[in-house]
Structure 1
């Protein structure tokens, strides 16, 4: 049965692009050992979720599905409108790469934290500490 376009549109409008649960979890972790970050800096290429401007460090917290991660959730493709979703995720990935390249050209280091990495918090904390040291 085909889904109502208005219903789908309402669902998509409800998807948050900032202050998501994974992002909040990463911020909570960072508060313990690396506070003083800034959120969603529009003056930094890619508008990173978390930025340490003085250190030139940017952290992006990516949802596995939306950014095409190679984990089980990221590899799952919707059955309806699959061509649209494949193109959408490909555009997201291309945009992410462009942002990483722009940041690197300006002397910034960037880290992508995948939503699935939150399952192993000790490992993620070690990754974050290493990135920020």
Structure 2
């Protein structure tokens, strides 16, 4: 059975690239904003990993991370943050708040795939 990845990103092109590289190995769920992702989680869906953009309308990715890590049902789900901002202070803050990894856009999809595999293989 494939592991499930939830992707939250307001850019559909990012979702298409991630899907292209990951769909063969993982089940893939995509929403263009974090509020839809939260609704999906609240319906009882538990992914093995979440990939979240930081800058999104309606709810930022860092706010989503805070929600997930403060919720007993979801706090053990690894979250990988994507950002187009090269900000060391933001990266450190998000890692301290519970993000498993922080990847800069544009990213190499093969590197993302390897990082995800390493995170998910930790559970074995």
TM-score in terms of structure 1 length: 0.45
Bigger proportion of residues as strand: 2
TM-score in terms of structure 2 length: 0.47
Larger radius of gyration: 1
